[in-house]
Structure formats: structure tokens, C-alpha cells
Amino acid sequence: MGPGREKGDVTEEYEAALRRLGDEKYVLRLYIAGNNARSQAAVENVKKICEEHLKGRYELEIIDIYQDRTKNPDDLILAAPTLIKKLPLPLRRIIGDMTMKEKVLVGLDLLPRGD
């Protein structure tokens, strides 16, 4: 602790930082390829994860790359499904099986990355 700072001050700052993190809004974009079982599973799983871990603080846009090609150049989608976390930074891409809950949570920075 620096001079003039009391233990209570540090605790209050830490708790305020946690509250700010808990209020961060997530902006997500899920790219799918058609209306098939894999795409439907990706949508269902991502929505479930968002409701469990980000309830009330996320925006999820679902884009079928077969129907809407206007978004592709911006995000450079090479495979589907792909989930992009635009905010909060840093930008993250989760590609492939969205049923792997832990992989999605790590990609969204909701779980720490294993080394």
C-alpha cells in the first residue's frame, strides 16, 4: 500500500473494479452456415451460455452466411459456426463446436485460459 492509503481504500477500489467488470456489456456476433442441426445447436448453446453467464448484459446477432453476405468482409469468416466477441475488448473468435461450453467460456474471457 502506498503512503496515505488505508486497507479499506484498497478494498473499496477492488470491489468497485469488480462491479464495473460485472456490468460490462458483451457484443457478440454468431455466424452460422444454413439452417442445419449444427447451426441450430450452435445458436441454442450460445444463447444458453449467454443467459447463464451474461444475462441482461449482452447483445447477440446471429448471421447466416448463406443468407447475409454483407457482414463477411468485416469479420473474415472462414468457417462456421464462428462466434465473435466484439466487446469488451480484446476481440475474440471462437470457431467450431459451440457445445464445448468451457471452450466458449474461455473464448468469452469468462473463464481463465489454461496455460
CATH number of the domain to which 66 belongs: 3.40.30.10
Please answer whether residues 29 and 83 qualify as being in contact, where contact means their C-beta atoms are separated by less than 8 angstroms: yes
The arithmetic mean of pLDDT across residues 49-58, rounded, is 95
13 exposure class (CB count in 10 Å sphere: 0-12, 13-18, 19+): exposed
Q: Is pLDDT at 1 greater than 50 in this prediction?
A: no
The predicted structure's pLDDT at residue 99: 93
Tell whether 9 is covered by a domain: no
The predicted structure's pLDDT at residue 76: 73
The rounded percent of the chain whose pLDDT value lies above 90 is 61
Tell whether 114 is covered by a domain: no
- What is the number of domains present in the chain? 1
Please count the other Cβ atoms lying within 10 Å of the Cβ belonging to residue 52. 11
Domain with 88, as residue range(s), is 27-107
In the block, which residue shows the cell 448471421? 63
The predicted structure's pLDDT at residue 10: 66
Tell whether 87 is covered by a domain: yes
Tell whether 38 is covered by a domain: yes
Please answer whether residues 30 and 83 qualify as being in contact, where contact means their C-beta atoms are separated by less than 8 angstroms: yes
Tell whether 7 is covered by a domain: no
Tell whether 32 is covered by a domain: yes
The arithmetic mean of pLDDT across residues 57-69, rounded, is 89
The predicted structure's pLDDT at residue 43: 98
Q: Which helix (H) or strand (E) holds 44?
A: helix 37-53
For 64-98, what is each residue's pLDDT tens digit? 988 876 655 567 777 899 999 999 999 999 999 99
